[in-house]
Structure 1
Amino acid sequence: MELTKTLDVPRQFVFEKIVDSGLYDIQQNTGKRPKISSLKGFEYKKKFGSKQNQAGKIRIDDVIEPSVYAFTTTTVRNTFTTRWELHKIDDKTTDVVISETIESKGFFQNLNDSMMQIGLGWIKKRQMRAILDGILKAYNGQ
């Protein structure tokens, strides 16, 4: 899945919002709040699902201020690799490119995930657009 959207928001602001969200998640799951400079390679465990009965490991793959934030989420069934790239258009405009790949473990899981991506891929994109709209609203003070 890939989503590209242009925001009338400076690149640094978008980057800070994305990283703040990651740091908040780390703090909620570990009690620690690492510095941005030490995020690359940082790993932590997280519980997922409405009943928190699923768990996984998140590893921060890349942090390049103010243009890249990438992480990998690994569960018993899948590995999700997510990458945010922020491309400066001018001082007030940023192209945001969000890409996510899924690697499934096992033939049947792969088949199931392929079918689910066809049916639910638009939901994931809608969630990503909502995050970007939230960043835009935060920048505009709404």
Structure 2
Amino acid sequence: MDIVKKMQVPVPFLFDQITNSVLYDIQQATGKKLTEKQLDGFEYVKEFSKNQRANIRIEKYHKDQAYHYSTATNRNQFFVQYDIVPISDTVCELHYIEKMESTGSIQKMNDMIVGMLLSHFKKKRFKEMLKQMEQSYQTAAYE
């Protein structure tokens, strides 16, 4: 899934939203309270249920520029990239890329079918989340 979205928010605002979410997720999964400086290269295990867990590695963290991570399970490996390009002091462009590699031919076929069926809804939900971020910035700017 590739999304390019021009956003009516400054780069630092958008990147702080992403960073705060990452730091919260790490603290929930590990109990560790990290700083931004500790994120690049950080790895942790996240449990989704009793029998499902994932190894998450932050591949790249460059403040106000890029956040890339990978998630590995016994069935798939996900690669996600957030790259942010400033356009002006109050506008930026987000480049979001998500790729998945599956293990085994049955899993690959299953993921391909599910991906085709759900990709539209996933993109729509992601774009809605970005819109909410823009609205929260607009609201905060007027308060």
Q: Per the shorter chain, which TM-score range?
A: over 0.9
- TM-superposed CA distance for 1:52, in Å, is 5.7
Output aligned runs, 1:9-48, within 5 Å. 9-48=9-48
- Describe the superposition over 1:55-95 as per-residue Cα deviations: whole angstroms up to 9, x where unpaired: 11111110111110111011110000000011111111011
- What residue identity is the alignment partner of 1:112? N
Which residue in the other structure is 1:70 paired with? 68
- What residue identity is the alignment partner of 1:36? E
Structure-1 separation of matches of 2:123 and 2:66: 19
Structure-1 separation of matches of 2:90 and 2:126: 21
- TM-superposed CA distance for 1:54, in Å, is 1.9
Output aligned runs, 1:1-142, within 5 Å. 1-48=1-48, 53-141=51-139
Q: Secondary structure at the match of 1:41?
A: coil
Structure-2 separation of matches of 1:134 and 1:25: 20
Instruction: Specify every segment of 5 or more residues in structure 1 that has no aligned partner in the other structure, as ranges.
Output: none
- Describe the superposition over 1:10-67 as per-residue Cα deviations: whole angstroms up to 9, x where unpaired: 011100100110000000111112111111111111122xx56421111111011111
Structure-1 separation of matches of 2:54 and 2:121: 21
Q: How many residues align?
A: 140
Structure-1 separation of matches of 2:32 and 2:129: 24
Higher mean alpha-carbon deviation, 132-141 vs 37-46, is at: 132-141
- The structure-2 alpha-carbon separation of the partners of 1:126 and 1:103, relative to structure 1 and needing over 3 Å to count, comes to same
Identity %, equivalent residues? 35
Task: Indicate the RMSD between aligned Cα atoms, in angstroms.
Answer: 1.3
- What residue identity is the alignment partner of 1:34? L
Instruction: Specify every segment of 5 or more residues in structure 2 that has no aligned partner in the other structure, as ranges.
Output: none
- What residue identity is the alignment partner of 2:55? K
TM value normalised by structure 1? 0.93
